[in-house]
Structure 1
Amino acid sequence: METIPLQKTYQFLAGAGEMGQLIRSRDWSKSRLGSIENWPQSLRTTLSILLHSKFPMFLFWGPDLISFYNDAYRPSLGVDGKHPDALGEKGETIWPEIWSDIKPLIDQVMAGGEASWSEDQLLPIYRNGKIEDVYWTFSYSPVHDESGHVGGVFVTCSETTGKVVNLRKIEESKDQLQFAIDAADLGTWDLDPATNRFTGNDRLKTWFGLSLLGEIDLTMAINALVEKDRQRVTEAIQTALQIESGGNYDIEFTIDQRPDQRERVVHAKGKAFFNETGKAYRFNGTLQDITDEVRAREEQQKLLTLVENSVDLMSILRLDGKNSYINKAGKELLGIEEEQEVSLIPISELHTPEQFEFVRTEIIPSVMEKGRWSGSFAARNIKTGETIPLYNNCLRIDDQSTGLPMAIGAVMRDLRPEMAVQKALEESKERFRLLADFMPQFVWASDPSGTLNYFNRAVYDYAGLSTEEVENNDWIKIVHPDDRLANVDAWLKSVETGVDFVFQHRFRRHDGVYRWQLSRAVPMKDSEGTIQWWIGTSTDIDDQKKMSDELERMVQQRTRELHNSNQELIKTNHELEQFAYIASHDLQEPLRKIQSFSELLQLSLNDEAVAGQYLEKISTSAQRMADLIKSVLNYSRLSNTADRFVETDLNQILENVESDFELLIEQKQATIRRSPLPVIEGIPMHLSQLFSNLIGNALKFSVKNPIVDISSQLLLPEEVAPLRVLNPDFTYVYIQFKDNGIGFEPEYSERVFTIFQRLNHRKSYSGTGIGLALCRKIVESHGGMIRAESELNKGATFHIYLPVKR
């Protein structure tokens, strides 16, 4: 028979438990360590200590950090984990998940022999089929080999996961308690009955207005209460400190928070603890702010009073189909005794069978699904059996904390009084209709929402509408299209505000003719001021309207004429004032010279030479005076617009003016450049004078080799609109006269058009100072506008706007 070889017995493995047996049974000849009999004594000794210890131990041996561990360490590896494969394997292979954490500690020991120690260190390991968070307290120590060098790292360790978890649970419990206190917004207190001093959290001290530091005397806290509660609270504390009371303390009181000028209502609950002699040695508890709750109770009481005294039926229906509350008015309406318990009355008794089915299949499902239901239904008086018509508003009541439905609330109005009023109203309307049909005036009516539902016979006869057309709201077709939108807007505004409707609009007669109507409507209200219907009339005002419009047109036309005449008069008066002031000065100057030189002439008759000089000066002054008078006459003639406007070719006018100035243009070596001009309606002589004055000024106030540029363009009505002084319905020609003369300063751009105004001395430039004033007069008499633009020594530009057709 075959002989099975016995395992070799090694003394250092004797009695070493499961791990000793595993080491003995393994074939180590193929490993880096070689056969066990060749292991160094230092390794054998260390393993003997490790394997026979009841404390968890681990060994990393040699350069490859081969792993060994004892039976005490074995439970820390769990099941379905690293055991038994970890035995004899490299540390890096066994512990990949924590190798980056423990390798530096191992290297520290292997390199210098310095031991290390860690407490409650988190090192997650793979065990029980998954990575678990495991806490360890361990020490890494060197193991020296026969040569005296560090041959391995001896690890003593214990798993402290349970301890850490328990400590965390304790801390979490404390945190949860504190969270619960904070979440509940509680104040906490602890009273020492022997010293009558107590401590409290910051919240409690803040409520009492006490210092946040140190202990506080009980008397200070009692004084913070409103006066009416102080004695009551003191007695409650003294009672709780007596052992026969059981140590219980439960009371509500009010804190007088004077800095905040408000009161805080709190609910205090506590417990006193007694020693073996029956004397209280500790008294503590909590304080809860119930101010909002107390205020809510007060408001709830007010609401309950309001509900109980309401004339409408109000009820609460539980989700099990039973009423939990019906107010006083509801009980009276339904024939329920005041002291009778409503939850004992099936709701089926409060309705007819048909109505109960409607409640069960329609109202309740609608409320539960949509949150509300409103409409008419009926209830039954359980005493008389009378069916009572009601208007019901149902609302689903949800739990604020969970959002789940709790009950159904209902407010029901007895419709019998309204139905009686409505019946009387309908009878009144019927009498009204009979009367209105005999009236020649248009009469119509509508419901409270503004929907027209009645027209008298006169409307049908006038418009030729059928009953079907009226019922389809086609009555709006008789209103003129231009009046419909405003008509509807005005009507809806009256319906919305309840203000009387007054509107003028045109109605189409059956033959297609539109006639003006004055429509009025007033709301008919009940005793409570609620609009029940509208009654309206429409009166033919076409003849009056046309006469009024004609009168209005005539008044407006006459007003415009008077306004234009007034503006012209104002303008003329202004020109006369301007003329009178300036002309009086300019005309007096040559007259004064004639008088002065005449007197001197008398005195020097004996001296012919001197007398001749005086005669020459008198002649010059007289000639200037004549020129001024001639200019004034020319200016005044422009006010006479009797000259007929004719089609005038501005090109021809400009050519004639250039011909008149031909000699002066040649003398001055001037250049006149122009673009084509249009044909307009105007007075040729005046336009010739306009161009003559402008070109004459350009040549007079010129420098060497003067240049005059004349350009033009047509402006359509939309381009004229920004120029507000022009007629936006006309087309204009815009002409520019631009020269390179001496110009003038910009601030004089308006002054140059004033009669007799001169910007230059007469000795330097001849003239009467009336030329540009004539230009403005001419342009304005043609319905146009002229303005000047210039800078000193940079020439001047005159902008002229003339209507092409008047």
Structure 2
Amino acid sequence: MILIVDDRPENILPLKKILELHSFSVDSAESGEEALKKVLKTNYAVIILDVQMPGMDGFEVANAIAGFSKARDTSIIFLSAVNTEKKFITKGYTSGGVDYLTKPVDPDILVLKVKTLHRLYKQQQELKETHKSLQKEIEVRKQAQEEIAGRMQELQSVLASLPQMAFTIAPDGRIEYVNEHWFRYSVDSTTFPQTHADDDVCKEWENYLKNGIEFTREIRLKELTTGEYRYHLLRILPIKQQGILVRWVGTFTDIHPQKLAADLLEQKVEARTKELLIKNLELERSNHELQQFTWVVSHDLKEPLRKIQILNDLIKEKYLTGNVEATAYLDRSINSSARMSTLINDLLSYSQLSTPALFQPTDLNSLLKEILADFEDVISRSKAVITVDPLPVLDTIPGRIRQVFQNLISNALKFSKKEIAPVIHIRAELIEEKEIDSKPSPDGNFCRIVVIDNGIGFDEKFMDRIFVIFQRLTDRASYEGTGIGLAIAKKNMDKHNGLITARSRVNEGSQFILILPVHQVNE
């Protein structure tokens, strides 16, 4: 759990969203007093603490937290927009902070620091649990050793009644006692049974004997009467009193039938495991496709539905009786509805397949025509001018590459200048290498597609942010959107083994550049 402490909610919200995107559980407090109350009730791995707050400032809160035993492993990161001098940074570290960051904070750097400190916190907790477990194990072993010491008088009678070979060994390695089953594999009580040439464990056993630790191995022993080598499980346990080795107790358990059965079962398991791995891979790919379908239903398929609603509204407002123009609008509405129904049916049918999405030759010209048809009403209202140069046929996953172009065109229409009609131009050329500035080549194996607009543009110093989910360079009041479109476009380009970047200046429009392989290999 991460705790963010800041007296200004507008500072807490973006940090909370960024950390939640990286699967962190996040709590918040708007004052030092509230933070202390929460620390007493909840264990936090990392506390992101604002320095300047009314009442208790960040340094006072950190000093108070340092006195809580349950917060001993909690790391504190100070944030400050004003107190950036060395003396304040020094005070932050002496107050118990592990880091001191000044605002504005780079969200990627902050996330990396939080991840590192969160991992260290988890490791500390795991070490504590391991320590407790080891302490318990030591206590159990001590009790067991004491019980063994008290029962050594009964040991030989117990070994004599066992159905397997049993024996005891003195600390110097001499055989002390063997039961009657021993003589099926050995001629006398002082000689170990003969093992298979591949199972010679004498040298290995000497190391265990020297170090006084348990020895367990599967070996094959030669039965004297039949000459057959049979699988046995050899276990030799050290018996200690007050930490001193007093003798060894060992057994040979015949596991020959089980071993043969296990070998056969292992072969079957290996074959079945291969089948399951293949099925699991298919399932993972299928699940990924289902996520894409969810996005398509919530985004791509809304445009035809909006068109139906707009046209039906026009019919209600302008036409009451049979009219040629009204009939035309109605026909367009019906066609859009049919198209929507067909598209949904196709997608739902595809989502039920277990095979992964495959690359296939895609005519980008036809795909762009469909996308522009979906934006027809927006283009008409904004008086946008869109020109598309001839585009090549590339191997793509059509549904995903559609999302890329739809997001780029949608942004170009959305982020246009006030009182100036959007002008969008899309061009393409083959290039030699998978690089943004690669030279053009008629026989190139890659295609560079550029989407150019005359919109509001952006400062290229924010390039790393525009493709990060929920990152916006404009305020929500002026331009709608969630900040997720370009992040989705980036993921789809990665799926196509391609690249995406942008070039722009404020108030001078933008160019979004796509690099796609001409041919793809289906895995």
Q: Same fold (TM over 0.5)?
A: no
Using structure 1 for the length normalisation, give the TM-score.
Answer: 0.21
Using structure 2 for the length normalisation, give the TM-score.
Answer: 0.31
Structure ID, larger Rg: 1
